[in-house]
A and B are shown apart, each in its own frame.
Chain A
């Protein structure tokens, strides 16, 4: 086996993924050690394995076939075996063999673990942002939210509706909030496979609080009827009505600290 090492690292940092780190040449003589490692993994019922190939300089087709066999066993138990950190040369060879159609291949181990946690452990991820309360910054903020959704495999229509929600909520925060140095708008976005939750907080212009409370109460309580008038003035409150139509849950809290808008939208496509 020469200088080839195969190390088995279980349960990476609290995730359910197991990493098998390989260094050296994966030639035919390494198959017994590979079998020993993966038989242990199967015995321990560890479902998801990332093979860290960053230190691999040679990957024989016999070993590849062996790994395919173990992958099949893991998949039959609702698991998977994925490859990470391949050199360009080895990646090209695997592509020529068609192995990229069998194995998921990641640039590095952490990306593989992140993907596993997202798909299998249903984790949520949060992004928080604080930006100056000016309308000209809102397009960049809504595009950020939309692009994050797209990166997390939300469909384009879904992502656009999320963008619309962020746009309306942030526009309201800027238009009805205090502006000037230090009066930033705070946005928190939490996303998982099923839904996106948005919270936008800002200091409200005290002259507008009463009117805003009344308007938001009437819109939030209004029955959802297409074409129904929004409040007593057709133009006022359209943004809130639009957010309500596009979301599954909308809540607005007014306090001395400011206004906090909470929106939940379930993944639609």
Chain B
């Protein structure tokens, strides 16, 4: 018996860049399994890649750090939350927040924050919603909503 939308998936993996490629392809393939088109799936893959890269690079500074992804697939959209422990330097995380908000400070620009800003701009461009939170324990959550952009043929 098949259940109906939304479908929820939870995934936890080590904070190791080796896992990014398999994880992003997994998200794309799960989307295509419920008839989201290849273009939507690939753009979602791009979003997952960028956010996971930031989560691991800025949020996983200890050997046993993990990244958690929860995504729910609705009939008209995908909602994605990516969490990392944020055990990195808090100033790095604030820089990330400024990059999301689009107001990188001059000092950050010089410090080479351009790369992550580009990644987040890509995510912003491909998403309908992008929210970023750091709690008091440095746990960082990035929430993204992508709305379906084309109608796929149903089997």
Q: Is the CB of A117 within 8 A of B63?
A: yes
Verify A111–B17 contact, CB threshold 8 A: yes
Over the window 4-39 of chain B, the binary record of Cβ atoms lying under 8 Å from chain A Cβ atoms (1 yes, 0 no) is 000111111111111101110110011001100000
- A128–B15 alpha-carbon span in the complex (Å): 13
Distance in Å: Cβ of B57 to nearest Cβ of chain A: 7
Which of B7, B25, B56 meets A143, CB within 8 Å? B25
Q: Which residue of B lies closest to A136 (CB)?
A: B33
CA A131 to CA B10, docked complex, whole Å: 7
CB of B152 closer than 8 Å to a CB of A:
no
Are B21 and A151 in contact, with the CB atoms below 8 A?
yes
For A148, list chain B residues within 8 Å (CB). 18-19, 22
**A contact residues around B60 at 8 Å (CB):** 110
Count B-side interface residues using an 8 Å CB cutoff. 31
Q: How far is the CA of A132 from the CA of B29 in the complex (A)?
A: 14
Residue in A closest to B62 when the chains form the complex, CB atoms: A13
Say whether B18 contacts A139, CB under 8 Å: no
- Closest A residue, CB atoms, query B8: A132
Give A86 to B3 CA distance when docked, in angstroms: 50
Task: Name the interface size band of chain A.
Answer: 35 or more
Pair B12/A181 contact, Cβ less than 8 Å: no
Residue in B13, B17, B18 whose CB lies within 8 Å of A152? B18
Report A100-118 CB contacts with B as 1/0, cut-off 8 Å.
0000000110110110010
Contact B29 A151, beta carbon cutoff 8 Å: no
Any chain B CB within 8 A of the CB of A217? no
Give the A-binding residues of B (Cβ under 8 A).
1-3, 7-19, 21-23, 25-26, 29-30, 33-34, 56-57, 60-63
Binding site for B on A (CB under 8 A): 13-15, 107-108, 110-111, 113-114, 117, 123, 125-132, 134, 136-137, 139-141, 143-144, 147-148, 151-152, 179-181, 184
Closest A-B pairs by Cβ, 6 of them: A147-B22, A140-B29, A144-B26, A151-B18, A125-B14, A130-B10
A125-B16, A126-B14, A132-B3 known, 9 other contacts, Cβ within 8 Å: A110-B17, A110-B56, A132-B7, A137-B33, A143-B22, A143-B25, A144-B22, A151-B18, A180-B1
